[in-house]
């Protein structure tokens, strides 16, 4: 890690005051802040998500190599991809590992850690497992986890074992094909047990979203973690996706991080982005106001994470590096204006990168 003087860093021109437009030309765009590589100043791993196609994009590869030390497959390690040809033994022709294998090889070649994402998710698997009941369902459930987690044993440092188990409203757990077969807590407990058997060394995470945005959901999630721990689940960490609503009250994100930390487990900020949009057809906030809100909420989250004990700072992952990589900028979502990520389409730092750098330093 390059040694950087803290006082010089804090005084450097990535301060937000340096983001004003050129004085001589009113039409000029704000100058990008000057930001040191995030991985060079963070005292913990900094990550991003990745698709296999990006590993052959020279611009993305150069930016990722400079900024991050950990990768999470965005989609191609999920059940929807791996079981695209159906579940073996239930009419399928086999598991598909070509893309996740390429990502794993890329991470190894780059000297980056790999975080597995995800084994069991309520949103996927219903069609592949359709018609299986009782012992056949359990056997297929166990076999899938054994095959996927076992294939990447020694190649991943961690897994999101179960993804998004709490409802959007936040007061209860989801009713899904997994819970209907194995129970709402039961399928989660079994998934952790099977993941531990397949990969004894990986750190096993429970991962969910809106935990900072919705205090009710955050509390339900942490109560679930406590129950799982008491039941003997080999849960090794808490994953908070942190798709931040920039209009949540000040202090709310930090409060969740403090509450989560009280359980003593490592914490992974696993999918950070922060849209400037609020979903309203008529949004009267100025661009400057939105950037100010984004900077405040992202800065609060990053500072709360950085303040954790070192053993609890597992990694800080942004869900994409460039704005145009974001799921928020795909298809009809893209108005060409949103800046949910640390870097713009050209790989230049956005204000978010400056905020993260100040917090990490």
Catalytic site residues? 164, 271
Q: Which DSSP category does 269 fall into? A: E
Question: Buried (b) or exposed (e) across 69-107, using 16+ Cβ within 10 A?
Answer: bbbbbbebbbbebbbeeebbebeeeebebebbbbbbebb
3-state class (DSSP) for residue 180:
helix
Tokens of 249: 């009250």
Nearest to 48, CA basis, from 226, 352, 221, 271: 271
Tokens of 297: 């909420």
Pairing of strands 46-50, 113-121: unpaired
Question: Buried (b) or exposed (e) across 138-151, using 16+ Cβ within 10 A?
Answer: eebbbebbeebbeb
Report the C-alpha gap between 116 and 47 in whole angstroms. 12
**E-state strands within the chain:** 46-50, 70-73, 113-121, 158-163, 203-208, 237-240, 267-272, 313-318
Report the C-alpha gap between 294 and 290 in whole angstroms. 6
Q: Which residues pair with 46 in a beta bridge?
A: 316
By the 8 A CB rule, do 99 and 76 touch? Answer: yes
Report the C-alpha gap between 168 and 172 in whole angstroms. 9
Pairing of strands 203-208, 158-163: parallel
CA distances from 85 to 79, 121, 127, 148, 217 (A): 11, 18, 11, 15, 35
């Amino acid at each position: 890690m390059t040694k950087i003087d803290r006082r010089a860093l804090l005084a450097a021109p990535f301060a937000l005051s340096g983001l004003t437009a050129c004085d001589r030309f009113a039409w000029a765009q704000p100058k990008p802040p000057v930001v040191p590589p995030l991985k060079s100043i963070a005292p913990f791993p900094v990550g991003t998500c990745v698709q296999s196609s990006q590993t052959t994009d020279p611009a993305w590869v150069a930016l990722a190599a400079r900024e991050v030390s950990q990768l999470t497959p965005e989609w191609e390690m999920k059940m929807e991809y791996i079981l695209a040809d159906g579940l073996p033994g239930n009419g399928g022709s086999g598991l598909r590992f070509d893309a996740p294998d390429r990502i794993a090889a890329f991470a190894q070649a780059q000297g980056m850690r790999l975080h597995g994402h995800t084994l069991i998710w309520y949103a996927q698997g219903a069609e592949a497992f359709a018609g299986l009941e009782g012992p056949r369902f359990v056997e297929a459930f166990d076999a899938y986890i054994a095959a996927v987690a076992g294939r990447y044993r020694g190649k991943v440092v961690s897994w999101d074992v179960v993804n998004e188990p709490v409802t959007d409203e936040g007061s209860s757990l989801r009713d899904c094909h997994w819970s209907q077969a194995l129970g709402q807590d039961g399928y989660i407990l079994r998934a952790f047990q099977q993941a531990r058997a397949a990969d004894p060394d990986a750190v096993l995470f429970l991962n969910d979203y809106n935990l900072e945005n919705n205090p009710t959901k955050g509390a339900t999630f942490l109560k679930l973690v406590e129950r799982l721990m008491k039941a003997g689940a080999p849960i090794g960490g808490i994953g908070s996706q942190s798709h931040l609503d920039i209009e949540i009250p000040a202090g709310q994100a930090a409060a969740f991080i403090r509450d989560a930390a009280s359980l003593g487990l490592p914490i992974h900020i696993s999918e950070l982005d922060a849209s400037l949009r609020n979903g309203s057809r008529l949004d009267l906030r100025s661009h400057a106001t939105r950037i100010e809100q984004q900077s405040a909420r992202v800065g609060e989250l990053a500072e709360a994470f950085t303040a954790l004990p070192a053993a609890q700072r597992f990694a800080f992952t942004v869900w994409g590096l460039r704005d145009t990589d974001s799921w928020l900028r795909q298809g009809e979502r893209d108005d060409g204006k949103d800046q949910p990520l640390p870097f713009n389409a050209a790989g230049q730092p956005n204000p978010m990168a400056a905020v993260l750098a100040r917090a990490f330093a």
